Copies of this chain bind each other. A is one copy, B any other.
Amino acid sequence: MKNSYLKSNNSNSGYFYKTFYFKQKVDHFGFNNNDEFEQRYLVYGGFRPPQGGGPVFFYTGNEGDITWFCNNTGFMWELAKELKAMVIFGEHRYYGQSLPYGNQSFKDPTKLQYLTSEQALADFAVFIDYLRSEWYPGQKVPVIAFGGSYGGMLSAWFRMKYPHSVQGALAASAPIWQFTDLVDCGAFLKTVTNTFKHHNPTCAENIRNSWMIINKAATTETGRKTITDTFKLCKPLQSIEDVGTFKAWLQETWVDLAMVDYPYPSNFLEPLPAWPIKEVCSYLSKPLTRDLSLLYLVYEAVNMYYNYTGKASCLDINQEATQALGTMGWDYQACTEMVMPTCSNGKKDMFEPVEWDFDDYAKGCQKQWSVTPRPMWPVIQYGGKNISTASNIIFSNGLLDPWSSGGVTKSLSASLTAIIIPDGAHHLDLRSTNKNDPKDVTQARQKEKEIITQWIKDFYK
């Protein structure tokens, strides 16, 4: 197979990695389409022992530009240095530069149909087969999969479906059970709420109350202008639909804050201070108020999230949290395989009561992408809760992280190990070591290191 090395100047933690493109079949599961595309890989071999060999750490890329994951997965680099591993980050098809049909990839359903988790796993399997035969001919090479979030789901599924390809997987904050009938649809937003309560119970109460105040204001033009002015919105709210977008954006903001509630300043989705929820809630910690003044407090909180650097002159409710995430691709995936039901009841959580309505959801998918979601397919394909025959997977979850509600938080067998990080947000353990790390994430990484070291030893036996 033809492939090419391209030197580049990109670096992570001072290590200069190579960017590499690998020819992949667009369709692994059929023989009618022989199109190929170039999949991007980031490769760093500087930790390998001088005599060659050693393990390979392979990041199963998720829904975004792979360089972004590369720069936010410092633990993998640290552990690779310690265990003398080759470091490889594989980009997920349809994200970053790995577009099967270039800028036409999202143009029509025919070109988009190859965006599935199964095709992505097959890409990784084909690449690793190539890696073993071409880069390590005649050698025994243990490969360990790493991934966070959807990337963590992929790394777990990769070990389940291709156990000959990787000897084990660290699936960090991987909500592999966030599917229909596997967990309560309300658990996700309840966890967001708990994370806010954890820092400040009054804050969660104030957020819960804010929806009512917004709804009341939204009924009149004057009220909508008040919201627009209070939140310094870039575009005024002109209709009830605009208000819907505004509320969805607010909800998304609270969710994202729970995901990135890291113990030190970070810039994962947005530039933020340490424990951003604590910071945000400092505006919302005053005694309960049910009048319009609450709106200004919510604005101050939200402004901290979107405008920590103070550069924004207005807030854009259509803005994505980060450009690095491929929201088009993920929208499509959420409309096909990755249907993750959420709901809220306003009692156990701080959100407006919204039931999970699959039919309505499916209608939206049909409208946007001309596809009908198959919500049970990932359960049938990946086994739902019946995965105890799998082996060598670490499921790590931070309890501040909303996605922990769909994660594996209890060990399922001696080799399917759950690691809980009470003070951890979204895959905190995958991030670089930091002097402000809570003790529990340090312990989690230590345990992960021990288990991975054992997998490597077992492999050579």
Contacts and interface: CB of A to CB of B under 8 A. Distances in A.
Interface string A122-142: 100110010000000000000
Interface in A148-164: 161-164
State the number of copies, please.
2
Interface string A316-356: 00000000000000000000110000000000000000000
Contacts of A386: 164
Contacts of A113: 30-33
Nearest to A391: B389
8 contacts: A29-B29, A31-B336, A31-B371, A33-B113, A129-B379, A162-B383, A163-B390, A164-B389
A109 interface: yes
Contacts of A164: 383-384, 386-387, 389
A31 B161 CA distance: 21
A204 interface: no
Interface string A255-294: 0000000000000000000000000000000000000000
A81 interface: no
Contacts of A374: 25, 31
A361 interface: no
A110 interface: yes
Interface in A23-62: 25, 28-34
Contacts of A380: 122, 125-126, 129, 165
A30 B114 contact: yes
Given A129-B376, A389-B164, A389-B391, A381 B122 contact: yes
Q: Which of A109, A113, A164 has the most CB of B within 10 A?
A: A164
A412 to B, nearest CB: 12
Contacts of A25: 374
A377 interface: yes
A381 B31 contact: no
Interface string A83-121: 000000000000000000000000001101110101100
A364 to B, nearest CB: 15
A215 interface: no
A110 B32 contact: yes
Interface in A354-402: 371-372, 374, 376-377, 379-381, 383-384, 386-387, 389-391
Nearest to A129: B380
Contacts of A372: 31, 34
Contacts of A109: 31-32
Nearest to A109: B32
Given A163-B383, A164-B383, A383-B163, A371 B129 contact: no
A28 B125 contact: no
A160 to B, nearest CB: 8
Contact of A389 (B110, B129, B163, B371): B163
Given A31-B374, A129-B380, A161 B163 contact: no
A119 B29 contact: yes
A379 B163 CA distance: 13
Given A31-B371, A122-B380, 18 more contacts: A25-B374, A29-B30, A29-B116, A29-B119, A30-B114, A31-B109, A31-B337, A31-B372, A31-B374, A32-B109, A32-B110, A34-B372, A122-B381, A125-B381, A129-B376, A129-B379, A164-B383, A164-B386
A110 B376 CA distance: 26
Contacts of A125: 380-381
Contacts of A122: 380-381
Contacts of A118: 29
A389 B159 CA distance: 10
A187 B110 CA distance: 43
A330 to B, nearest CB: 15
A381 B118 CA distance: 11
A378 to B, nearest CB: 12
A266 to B, nearest CB: 36
Nearest to A29: B29
Chain A to chain B: the 8 pairs with minimum beta-carbon distance, closest first: A164-B383, A164-B386, A32-B113, A163-B389, A30-B113, A31-B371, A29-B29, A31-B336
Nearest to A110: B32
Contacts of A165: 380, 383
A408 to B, nearest CB: 14
